Amino acid sequence: MTKEEIATLVPDQRKVEDDDGRAALGKWYWVKGQGKEEKPWFGCVTHVGTNFVEIHGPDEKHNRSTHVIRVHFDEFWQVCEEVANPDAIIDSEIQKHQTETHRLMNKVRELTARLGVSPKHELEDGATSDVKALSIRTSEPVKAYKKALIKAKEKTLPDLFKEIQNSNGLMATWMKVKLLPLEAEARKLEGTIDLVKDRIFSVELYAGLVEEAERVREGAPAPNDTRVHLMQRRAYMDEECLVGYEHGGMDYKNIEDFEGWLCKPANFTRLLPHPRTLLAFRVRRNDKERDVDLTNFIRVMHEKNWDKSTFLYVRNGEQLWRIETEIEFEKKLFPDAKHKIFSSSKLWAKNTFLHDIDDVITDEEYQGKVEEEKALEEKLKSIPEKDRWHHRRYGSDSSENYHEFTPDNVYYDDIMAVIEAEKKKHNRLVLVMQGLLDRSPVLHPHPPWQLWTKEGFASAFELVYDDTRALSAGDKPDFETYRARLNSHLQVGSVTVGQEVAWEIREAERENRKRRNRGSYHRSDYEYKRLRPQGDPGPGKVAVVVNYSEKSRSVTYEWLKEKDNQPRDVRAFLKTGEENVLNVDAYKPGDFHIFFDDPRTRQEYLQWAPLLLEAEECHAGNREIKPNRRLPAVAREPKVHGERPVDLAFKEKPPASPLSKKYEGKLCTLNYDTETKGGVKFKEGETLKIESYFRKHVSLRATDGSKRLIRNVHINHVTIIKDDK
């Protein structure tokens, strides 16, 4: 119903204002259409903000339940006109859609009656009903009647039912419209409830009802007037101490091990450098990989939540205290310096399609986005048109989706709510610290600091913006590039790490495949990710390469394993790509600091710690297999990730083993029957000639003129024929 049609029902359409000249919550207005052809629509004020009014109303044109718009105060009376008697309009619309529904239902009845398929025939016998329907239409040919029935079934009746459904939907919408003023009044009370909740939580924080403090290191406290240095960043236990790196890193069960590591003087002074320091620690940054099935699902979910626990560690002189709290602190314990100028600095905000504020950034960050987009557009000019879509940015992160944060912005209140909520989260720390100062020995002795005053806070605390260290100079270290450089020196006899994980993954895939082939496998069944078969020791954490293919960039390992119905152990092999291993020979002691000291890569420690730290142990002499360090004079070009490998041959061969002269050229006999992968057979006791020797393995050539060759035979599996001389 248009405004003109309602004029006869509501004669008084004068503008009615509140005492302060603003729109009133719960009142109804005619809202001017946005486009040239858009007609005014009927809406209710559901929220009055600092500088805007939000109006909801039924949207019949677009077949939506509600039409939503925000109008700035400066434009309100140019866009809206108050309705004096809205109930008359609502009742009229409800009556209109009721009448339309009845009209459509009558059309359905007339059509079914005309076709002889009235619903009352459902109560009659089927055959009797059909005969009666045909007898009624004796004046119309049967073919024409059949055609009319088909049209009614496929077109006329479905269209009528669709119109009835639409009319009923609009009638329901107008019935719900009467609830809008009541919902608006109820929403006002939510703010009061939130204030009460915040006050209760503040009391809990100050009273220590959600925290627990425990001393984990003894010693003398700091002098009385020493200020507390609050570290901004949230550290992660698993990344700092690398406990259990070989098993996916530490979890909540290893907190005592972490604290023992933290109490060591070097670590104590590095992480807590000031006499009084507070640093927040979370157990883990990312979820630890755990085996999950139906029997342990709930337990694993609890363990993941415990791994997200945050603890506050406080250094007081030589003492160390752990504060366990239920508060979930943010990644930054307190806001950046830019948050101090929120009230005066120019800000930009991004809101989602649901009008929620998704991000708030400073003008410097916004201008940075604009410059990056300009640089990208310049770069795209040099790229062929068909390939530009690979480089062009898509999504909501574009600068076009950000709007300036000013009093003219109708989302001013929402943006302020985001800023205030962020400040509120960080200010919880002040309540915790004031409670500790007043009733806990954690920071004793100390002056009677009053943190709620600006002067008191400044005399008690100093903010350390150490989170900015994430902005390290230079490019981020690339572990895969580093691995490729070391692996460019791979050769037969190289010592490597990483092959054991590749073997466990291969065995898991084999077992999963067997289970599927048995026919008893279901999708819900647990699948192995890594598996160590019984009686198979695997290649070992540290192993020697027995074969290397420069063409396929693959490495091969050999070892002995148990096998059923075999009188002795059998040989086992693993062939994997060099991208899964790390060359220990090319590793230089201390290289792990490249990735450990840079905070941008430390959080990715799970991919490099098991490899680099194992290589470090090898060079320190803590492993049975020692690094070889026999690198080629000229190494191959390192393999670049994502590109084709460059096939380059070594210009110089590695030096021969001292034992090679002892065995090469000697005649021997084989101690067992065997067959190569190519199908060449060798018999036990057959006389063969040793062509080469390396690391207790020999290559044997047949002496019968057949040119048969077998490689990688352990020296213990042959018997040397002694020279008669």
Percent with pLDDT over 90 in the chain: 13
Residue 555's nearest CA partner among 535, 522, 578, 539 is: 578
- CATH number of 688's domain: 2.30.30.40
**For residue 104, is pLDDT > 80?**
yes
Q: Which pLDDT belongs to residue 12?
A: 38
Average pLDDT (364-385) is 79
Give a yes or no: residue 252 inside a domain. no
Percent with pLDDT over 70 in the chain: 75
Give a yes or no: residue 698 inside a domain. yes
Mean pLDDT of all residues in the chain?
A: 77
Give a yes or no: residue 47 inside a domain. yes
Same domain, 187 and 58: yes
In this structure, which amino acid lies at residue 610?
Answer: P
C-alpha dist (Å) from residue 421 to 198, 200, 339, 356, 598: 11, 16, 12, 14, 32
8-state DSSP, 332: B
Same domain, 605 and 668: no
Same domain, 520 and 373: no
Phi, then psi, of 629 in degrees rounded to 5 = 65, 15
Q: Spell out where 516-632 has E strands.
A: 542-544, 547-549, 554-561, 570-577, 582-583
Residue 610's nearest CA partner among 470, 476, 479 is: 479
Q: Residue by residue, what is the 3-state secondary structure of 51-74? A: CEEEEEEEECCCCEEEEEEEEEHH
Contacts of 691 (CB under 8 A, 6+ apart): 664, 698, 699, 700, 701, 709
Report residue 123's pLDDT band, with 50, 70 and 90 as the boundaries: very low
CB 348 within 8 A of CB 361: yes
Same domain, 705 and 593: no
Pairing of β 276-282 and β 228-236: parallel
Same domain, 596 and 670: no
Same domain, 38 and 115: yes
Average pLDDT (513-535) is 74
Query: How many Cα atoms sit within 13 Å of 48 on the Cβ side?
Result: 16
Same domain, 487 and 583: yes
Give a yes or no: residue 233 inside a domain. no
pLDDT tens digits for range 213-252: 888 999 999 999 899 998 888 889 888 887 777 667 788 8
**Cut 0.75: pTM above it:** no
Take residue 267 and report the two structure tokens written for it: 């670590």
Domain boundary among 153, 172, 207: 207
In this structure, which amino acid lies at residue 681?
Answer: K
E strand or H helix at 197, and its extent?
helix 180-207
C-alpha dist (Å) from residue 2 to 6, 31, 63, 472: 6, 11, 16, 63
pLDDT tens digits for range 554-572: 999 999 888 776 767 788 8
pLDDT: is 56 or 59 the higher one?
Answer: 56
Domain boundary among 161, 181, 207: 207
Give a yes or no: residue 321 inside a domain. no
Same domain, 491 and 549: yes
d(CA 59, CA 174): 10
| Full residue range of the structural domain in which residue 500 is found | 479-619
d(CA 24, CA 616): 72
In this structure, which amino acid lies at residue 387?
Answer: D
CB 617 within 8 A of CB 623: yes
Give a yes or no: residue 306 inside a domain. no
Same domain, 91 and 203: yes
Domain boundary among 404, 420, 440: 404
Same domain, 367 and 516: no
Report residue 10's pLDDT band, with 50, 70 and 90 as the boundaries: very low
Give a yes or no: residue 336 inside a domain. no
Instruction: Count how many domains the chain has.
Output: 4
Average pLDDT (675-679) is 81
CB atoms inside a 10 Å sphere around CB 705: 6
8-state DSSP, 409: -
In this structure, which amino acid lies at residue 424?
Answer: K
In this structure, which amino acid lies at residue 149?
Answer: L
pLDDT tens digits for range 139-148: 556 677 677 7
Beta bridge partners of 324: 212, 311
**For residue 122, is pLDDT > 50?**
no
Give a yes or no: residue 397 inside a domain. yes
Same domain, 34 and 154: yes
Phi, then psi, of 316 in degrees rounded to 5 = -130, 90
Same domain, 39 and 177: yes
CB 20 within 8 A of CB 76: no
Report residue 473's pLDDT band, with 50, 70 and 90 as the boundaries: low
